Chains A and B, each alone.
Chain A
Amino acid sequence: MSAYVFALCHRTVDLVAATAASTLRDALGLGEDLIALRRDDLHVLEDCRGEPAAWAAASAAHAAWFNPNTHRHAFFSAAEGAVDAAADFAASGRVVDEEGIDWPRPWLGRILHSDRADLLEARSAASAGGGGAVDAASTAGDLSAWLALPAAGGAFAVSLAAFDAEDPVYTLHGEDWPAPGARVLSLQLWTLALRAADAGQARRMAVEVALTRTRRRGLLIHPQVQAWALAAPITPLSRESR
């Protein structure tokens, strides 16, 4: 059995992220400090059989989760137990923490498969037999490559994951999936590229504008229905550090 993270993003402009970005800049005061906002759909698959390519084909055939004409996709290795860890995390109710809570990690590892050839080439050049090991370094590196945020001096990328706090985990039905009965945790990954003095400030800024608490504070995540977590190490976006 394997565990994967199936990541999806728009091929062209994501209108939801674009609208959210302009609202964060203009209505919630981020202004030019928000360099970019990116939204990805992530599906953590556990109890899986089958290769990632078979999963991508089945998903496209089902018209489930994505349309290959409008979305790009990538499969990452995932830590076994990531789905249960997320469910436990959601059930704990620790969702309104001003400092944020790190996702039970490491949970997202190396890229295994994608329709982006550049990612696969970079991965095979970087790993000489590293397999799909899940560790913090690979999370930061391969996720950053997938996100492809613009380089910017004095800026940091902060990724926040949000998912249904009530029923976070569901089971795949239908015989034509590679592994019917696989368990799934679906989440949205909001990544904010923020101009900040340091990683700590970037994190505070991201949490402030992401968590909906008042009409003028927060937009992306609603803590009354969603669990959330800082989903990856905060990474600098300066050209030198990449």
Chain B
Amino acid sequence: MSRARIAVLQFPGLNCERETLRELQRSGVDASIVRWNEGPSRIRDFAGFVIPGGFSYQDRVRAGAIAAKSSVLDTVVREVEGGKPILGICNGAQILVEAGLVPGEEPGRVDVCLARNRIEGWSGYHSRWVFVKAHGDGNFFTGDLTEPLPLVVAHAEGRFVSRDREAWERLRRKGRFVLRYCDSEGRDPRGFPDNPNGSPDDVAGMSGLDGQVLAFMPHPERAAHLWQVPEDLPGVWGERRRRAAGDRSALMGDGPGRVLLRAFARLNRGGST
């Protein structure tokens, strides 16, 4: 059976499309970069989508807001509502939230915002290694996640919020908070720095529609190889990295981000999982 084709959607101002493409391909995924202006027929060719990180449209008005209104999203939304999976990484996550695909309780309704980081003493851009773990029964993206994953966050607006507390509770009960920040042992975080942006319920990734949509703030493509994991990182992955020191083959092996990216390799052409 031929491999499913995945589109890495590029909007003006995104800047992680090359490494995202490369690491998807190294994960066994047949992926291509598709630019925002290539037309709907090209979009429909693909079995799934990734929107990478960066600063689409220079973050004008709000991060992700302009890209979410673009005509290419009309086609993408239709395809995703038909069951195709889509992963938004960082700015890609902001686009999915602004497009109403996450949480997607009602088609297109924007119920959540990725707001400015809120950390004791300051707010704004922050970059660091964090740990995330899967919650719930697992979906297309999180089914293979069994241990805390160390990944990099690099954002100024990564705090999932809704002013409607009842709506937030409904999202929690429905298991939308599929990836949460944790400490290196997988325990609930005790504030910053485990939770790097003040996201309530420590939400790092929120799912949408029937679970085929994931808005995820950390960057899996920056931790796809073991050599990318810092040697002094605590936890299982830090230990693996220390054991691999000096062993080129082991260092080039899978890093924690690979686990997420490989989800797309399970797709068959046509979008079934």
* Chain A: CB-nearest residue to B157: A225
Q: Which of B68-118 contact A (CB under 8 A)?
A: 68-71, 73, 77, 98-100, 108-113, 115-116, 118
Q: Which of B60, B100, B108, B113 contacts A222 (CB 8 A)?
A: B113
Q: By the criterion CB–CB under 8 Å, are B113 and A19 in contact?
A: no
B140 contacts chain A at the CB level, 8 A cutoff: no
Decide if B69 touches A28 in the complex (CB within 8 Å). Answer: yes
Residues of B contacting A216 in the complex (Cβ-Cβ under 8 angstroms): 69, 108
Q: When chains A and B are docked, how far (Å) is the Cα of A225 from the Cα of B69? A: 19
- A15-B58, A19-B60, A223-B163 known; A215 vs B99 contact (CB < 8 Å): yes
Given A215-B73, A216-B108, A225:B65 Cβ within 8 A = no
A164 CA to B69 CA in the complex, in Å? Answer: 23
Given A215-B108, A222-B113, decide whether A27 and B163 contact each other with a Cβ distance below 8 A.
Answer: no
Q: For B60, what are the chain A residues with a Cβ–Cβ distance below 8 Å?
A: 15-16, 19-20
B164 cross-chain contacts in A, Cβ below 8 A: 224
- CA gap between A127 and B158 in the complex, in Å: 49
- By beta carbon, the residue of chain B nearest A223 is B163
In addition to A23-B66, A28-B69, A218-B110, 13 A-B residue pairs with Cβ atoms within 8 Å of each other are: A27-B69, A27-B70, A165-B163, A212-B110, A214-B100, A215-B69, A215-B98, A215-B108, A216-B69, A219-B69, A222-B62, A224-B162, A225-B113
B61 with A219: CB separation less than 8 A: yes
Write the residues of chain B forming the contact surface with A, with a CB cutoff of 8 angstroms. 57-58, 60-62, 65-66, 68-71, 73, 77, 98-100, 108-113, 115-116, 118, 161-164
Contact sample, A vs B, 24 pairs, CB 8 Å cutoff? A19-B60, A19-B61, A20-B66, A23-B69, A27-B69, A93-B163, A95-B163, A166-B118, A214-B100, A214-B108, A214-B109, A215-B100, A215-B108, A218-B110, A219-B61, A219-B65, A219-B69, A222-B65, A222-B110, A224-B112, A224-B162, A225-B116, A225-B161, A225-B163
Asked whether B57 lies within 8 Å of A224 as measured between CB atoms, the reply is no
- Measured CB to CB, the closest approach of chain B to A41, in angstroms, equals 14
- The answer to whether B66 and A19 have CB atoms under 8 Å apart is yes
Per a CB cutoff under 8 Å, which of A20, A93, A225 touches B61?
Answer: A20
**Residues on B with beta carbons closer than 8 Å to the beta carbon of A223:** 163
Q: How far is the CA of A165 from the CA of B161 in the complex (A)?
A: 12
A230 sits at the interface (CB 8 A): no
A56 contacts the other chain (CB 8 A):
no
Contacts of B77 in A (CB 8 A): 215
A16 partner residues in chain B, CB cutoff 8 A? 60-61
Q: Determine the distance from Cα of A165 to Cα of B164 in the docked complex, in whole angstroms.
A: 13
Chain B residue with Cβ nearest A167:
B118
* Chain A minimum-CB-distance residue to B107: A214
Which 3 A-B residue pairs are closest in the complex by CB-CB distance? A224-B113, A27-B69, A214-B108
Q: In the complex, what distance in Å separates the CA atom of A214 from the CA atom of B70?
A: 13
Chain B residues with Cβ under 8 A from A166's Cβ? 115, 118
Bound Cα distance A20, B100 (Å): 19
Q: Name A's B-contacting residues (CB within 8 A).
A: 15-16, 19-20, 23, 27-28, 93, 95, 165-166, 212-216, 218-220, 222-225
Chain A residues with CB under 8 A of B111: 224
The complex places the Cα of A86 from the Cα of B33 at a distance, in Å, of: 46
A216 to B100, CA, bound (A): 10
Closest to B109 in A: A214
A28 contacts which chain B residues (CB < 8 A)?
69
**Nearest CB of chain B from residue A224's CB, rounded to whole Å:** 4
Residue of A nearest to B99 (CB): A215
Task: Contacts A19-B57, A95-B163 given; indicate if A213 touches B71 (C-beta within 8 A).
Answer: no
Which residue, of A20, A213, A224, has the highest number of chain B Cβ atoms within 10 A? Answer: A224
A96 to chain B, nearest CB (A): 8
In the bound complex, residues from chain A placing their C-beta under 8 Å from that of B65 are 212, 219, 222
Determine whether the beta carbon of B57 is less than 8 Å from that of A215. Answer: no
Tell me the minimal C-beta distance from A89 to chain B in angstroms.
14
Tell me, in angstroms, the Cα distance from A212 to B163 when the chains sit together.
Answer: 13
Complex Cα spacing A212 to B110, Å: 7
- Asked if A213 and B61 sit within 8 Å, CB to CB, the answer is no
Whether A213 contacts B109 by the Cβ 8 Å rule is yes
Contacts of A93 in B (CB 8 A): 163
Most buried by B among A213, A214, A220: A214
- Among A95, A214, A220, A225, the most chain B Cβ lie within 10 Å of the Cβ of A225
Q: Which residue of B lies closest to A27 (CB)?
A: B69
A39 CB to closest chain B CB (Å) equals: 9
Taking CB atoms, residues of chain B closer than 8 Å to A218 are 110
Contact between B58 and A214, CB atoms less than 8 A apart: no
Cα of A19 to Cα of B66 in the assembled complex, Å = 8
